[in-house]
Structure 1
Amino acid sequence: MRIIKYFFLLLLLISIGLAVYIFTQKGDYEVSDSQVIKASRFTVFDYVNDYKNWETFHAMNQNNPEITFDYKAKTSDKGGSFTWKDGSESGFMKTVFVKDNDSLSQKMTVDGHKAEVYWKFKDTIGGTKVTYTTRGTIGVLQKFSTFFEGGINRMMHNNIDRTLFNLNKTLDFELKTFSIKVNGVAQRNASFFIKQSFTCKVKSLSRNIKIVMPKLVYFFKKNNIPMAGKPFVIYETTTLNTDIVTVSVCIPTQQLIFMADVSDVTSGQMEAFTCIKTTLKGDYSHRATLWKTAQEYIVAKAYQPNVAGKYIEIYSKTIDDVKNPSKWETELYIPVFPKAEVAPATISVPTIPRPTIPVEEVPTTLEENP
């Protein structure tokens, strides 16, 4: 009986000693790891820069069915943010500094504990060297919970390594896997829409569309405007061979809506037209191939382009529908004249009352405006 008493006393002393040891450990940490990602620096930076992509590669989401994410109007570039909830734990992350294709600085708060995250992107042989650094402070409870996983530094090393490994795996497969199908002649019906237009350099087009489109979707939600279909882009200039391009990011509406003059968001309408439809299944980075395939088909089939029309891209399946870029779908519509007619028949758009809605202007920061 005395032996059992001594055993429990010894166990108590060990427990107290261990608790004191853990309690007196430093709560500060700084961990950094690097890995070469098999993709261009522009591609890697653009992918990491958008928080919506983190669900496909970040360690926080791996094998964790309980975690949920909430995205606001802006999820990339400076000011981009998102929140998450994992059981009783909640977190917030915001980008505070961006140097294009070079580095990102982010601030994170998890249950009141603050941390900083830094990304560095550098060209190297075989792709892009990505360095992921995080530093912060943990509380007493976290000291105890992480101690049995080897300590906070070891746990953070494992998370960063897994994140970079997943990033490489995701980009290597998801961005390279795509297919293009020419659907042939199609008829686009007359439609109404709300749009936001901008002019930028071609190399910044995809990034600027990613900035404007979520804000336009948020604009619809904030003003209780029902969306009558998927977002699309009208190319006001119908070639990507020039350095500068003007586009309108649009969302269809059920009727023509009169917009207040104070807003940079305007309404528009489009008459029906005949076109060649071509579909890209995969990441937007293959849009140039999409355009080339469609234009080659038009030449091969001897269709006459309708230069008075506008090229349209409809984003029928996006990151909001499925996180994997290899499953996104983009439809390109190039206006042509039907072969049986000199010009396509004009379909009149019925006159519909134009309600005026109070709207809040959506400020947009674009990249590399000329």
Structure 2
Amino acid sequence: MKFIKYLLFLLLIAFIGMAIYIAVQPNDFEVTESTTINAPKAVVFDIVSDTTDVDWSSFWKSSETMQKTIATPNDSIHQTFTSKRIKKSELKWNFVSNDDGSTTVTRKLDADNLAFMTKAKFALFGDNEEELSEQFKADLESIDKKVAKSMATYSINVDGITEYGGGFYLYKTISSTGSNKSTTMREQYDDIRTFMNAHNISASGMPFTIYIEMNLENGNVIMSNAIPVSERVIIAEDSNVLNGFMERTKALKVTLRGNHTNLKEAWTIAQKYLKDQNIEASEISPFEVYKNDPAQLPNPAHWVTEIYIPIKESAEDL
């Protein structure tokens, strides 16, 4: 009998000691993980902000309640959760642009006022912070994959034969290698816009590129980068920006929705369609029309490019 009393007394002392040990454990903890994603900040922010209402990791259970979300577009997201296990936990996302165009994403959890049983679980069964850190790393890797998939999405549609209205345009002609094409085009359009601003000329449509020569294999081109205007512009003889006019013409139209890196495939599909349909291209140079401004759309999946290949009209069309 005395042994049982003695044993119960020892167990009581052990229980009190354990309770004191648990009680003095930290009342909060913090977990922070970062990763760098090869994408513009706005794209990464959109992917994260579209999914902040779901359970990114197993840390949040059904008992957790999201109290509020404060988002500063393309900069940060701040969420507050409450539950019986943790009286208050804050999840913070920060997005920082890097010089190479990538984005560093940081995910930080601040948990405060842990419930006694939660502290007991942490004390008895291991370091919860290390487990959460691994979960955070996995979550950030998942975001990286979602971003890459989002940016790689594209579609090519053969719209068929249409009539392109034509009209006046200002342009600059240059030859370029495939590797320098994007940079060259950007500089060309900057020069044309500078000229238009200096002479108070307004664009009447979206920029386009006329291909005088095109090599689909290596991407080398001779091209005229152009911006449409509503009427003929009288230009000084020494100007490097010229005035042109495109006749109204029938053309095969193919639309690419996605990154310009997919244009080679779109042009190949367009040319195959002409061959399969036994349609002959005319002497008018083919061209691309850029229906939106990539500078305003950081996700290339949203870019829209229309390809036009002018065709010879049949006798019935004349």
**Class of the TM-score when normalised by the shorter of the 2 chains:** 0.5 to 0.7
The match for 2:186 among 210, 213, 229 is: 210
3-state SS of 2:231 partner: coil
* Distance change (3 Å), C-alpha of 1:180 and 1:131: closer
Residue 241 of structure 2 aligns with an amino acid whose one-letter code is: V
Aligned-pair distance for 1:327? 1.9
Q: Could you tell me how far apart the structure 2 residues matched to 1:231 and 1:277 are?
A: 16
Give the drift of 1:299. Answer: 0.8
CA deviations 1:286-344 (Å, max 9, x no partner) are: 101110111111111110121x1101100112325544321211000011112445xx7
Give 1:274 shift.
1.5
Matched, 1:329 2:304: yes
Tell me which residue corresponds to 1:270: 246
Gaps spanning 5+ residues in structure 1: where?
1-32, 38-43, 69-83, 85-115, 121-129, 133-147, 149-161, 346-370
Q: CA deviation at 1:119?
A: 4.4
Alpha carbons of structure 1 residues 213 and 302: separation in structure 2 relative to 1, 3 Å: same
Q: Give the Å deviation of 1:195.
A: 0.9
Question: Structure 2 counterpart of 1:171, which letter?
Answer: A
Q: Aligned pair in 2 of structure 1 residues 250, 163: CA closer, same or farther (>3 Å)?
A: farther
Equivalent residues in 2 for 1:213-224, closer than 5 Å:
213-224=189-200
Contact 2:258 2:304 in 1 (8 A): yes
- Rounded to whole Å, the distance in 1 between the matches of 2:235 and 2:288 is 24
Q: TM-score, normalised by structure 2?
A: 0.56
- Residues 234 and 310 in structure 1, CA contact (< 8 A), matched pair in contact too: yes
Which of 225, 230, 254 aligns to 1:254? It is 230
Letter of the structure 2 residue corresponding to residue 255 of structure 1: E
Partner of 2:130: none
Of the candidates 268, 289, 295, which is equivalent to residue 292 of structure 1? 268
Aligned with 1:229 (options 184, 200, 205):
205
Which secondary structure does the structure 1 equivalent of 2:221 belong to? strand
Tell me if structure 1 keeps the 8 A contact 2:254–2:307: yes
Name the structure 2 match of 1:56.
43
How many pairs align? 226
2:297 and 2:279 mapped to 1: Cα distance?
A: 35
Alignment of 1:1-370 (within 5 A): 53-57=40-44, 119=100, 169-175=146-152, 177-241=153-217, 244-306=220-282, 308-320=283-295, 322-341=297-316
Between structures 1 and 2, the one with greater helix share: 2
**How far apart are 1:206 and its partner, in Å?**
2.8
Contact 2:44 2:103 in 1 (8 A): no
Superposed CA RMSD: 4.4
* Identity between Structure 1 and Structure 2 (%): 23
1:235 Cα deviation from its structure 2 partner? 0.5
Contact 1:238 1:310 in 2 (8 A): no
Pair member with larger Rg: 2
- The verdict on how the C-alpha distance between 1:335 and 1:216 changes in structure 2, with shifts beyond 3 A counting, is same
| Structure-2 change in CA distance of 1:163 and 1:268 (3 Å) | farther
Segments of structure 2 that go 5 or more residues without pairing to the other structure are: 1-33, 51-69, 76-96, 105-109, 111-138
**Aligned equivalent of 2:65:** none
